[in-house]
Amino acid sequence: MRSLVCGTMTPRITLVMLLLLLAAVKAALADSWPNATVKAVVSENGETIVRVIPGTSIGDTYGFAGSRKGKFAMAQWFRFRSNRYELYQTIQLVHPVAPIHAAVANDGTLITLDNWHNVGFGDVVAIYAPDGKLRKKYRLADLYSTEVIEKIKRSVSSIWWRCLKSDPHIQRNNTVQVDDTLGGRFTFHLENGAHIYEAGVGECRP
């Protein structure tokens, strides 16, 4: 009787262990992201601050269909005047929740990169003129061919196109260099939104 009971229980135990193992694998493959928070970036000369306020439109992000939709991220521009920073404009950004990285030039031009929980999805680069108007935006399909995009490493929520060894910053000639994970480098010109790509010169290697 004892061997019969053990024999009937073994498949059940094996099934439970298998389900637990699959759950652990699924958890390991999933992306874990902290909540988006308010962040601020300062121009090199210290005269302009842009404050980025996260949005609440999770339903507009990839992988969250059916979730609540709401306001997109907002950006507030502050200018240093009379020994204090004064708010002079507020705009809505293209990001449903928040950009991953942002930088502001001395003239007030703002560049944002990637989307919270959705690196590589949606508008991965957006450039805003000093008056807040959207100057240019790019999706991955605007930067790469379909064949190249398929070669980029993916996770549950993201396409990891951008090299994360260092955060891009604004050069003195008002350009921003963004290295990708394929070994190349994009140079974005803030005054008109144009870009060029150079293969094999970036910090990351495929």
Q: What's the confidence (pLDDT) of residue 16?
A: 42
Predicted local confidence at residue 106, as pLDDT: 97
The pTM for the full model equals 0.83
> What pLDDT, on the 0 to 100 scale, is given for residue 206?
77
- Cα gap 108→96, rounded to integer Å: 22
Helices (H), the chain: 2-29, 140-143, 146-149
Predicted local distance difference test score (pLDDT) of residue 31: 63
Residue from 49, 22, 27 nearest 106 by CA = 49
Spatial contact of 94 and 110, defined as CB atoms under 8 Å apart: no
Model pLDDT, residue 126: 98
Residue pair 88/101 in contact (Cβ under 8 Å)? The answer is no
Look at residue 66 and tell me whether its pLDDT is greater than 90: no
Neighbouring C-beta atoms of residue 31, cutoff 10 Å: 12
- Whether 198 contacts 180, CB under 8 Å: no
pLDDT in tens, 3-34: 333 344 454 544 444 444 444 333 333 467 88
Residue 32 exposed, middle or buried by CB count within 10 Å (0-12, 13-18, 19+)? exposed
Q: What is the pLDDT of residue 13?
A: 47
Percentage of residues of the chain with pLDDT beyond 70? 85
Distance (Å, whole) CA 205 – CA 118:
22
Q: Collapse the DSSP code of 38 into the 3-class scheme (helix H, G, I; strand E, B; otherwise coil) and give the result.
A: coil
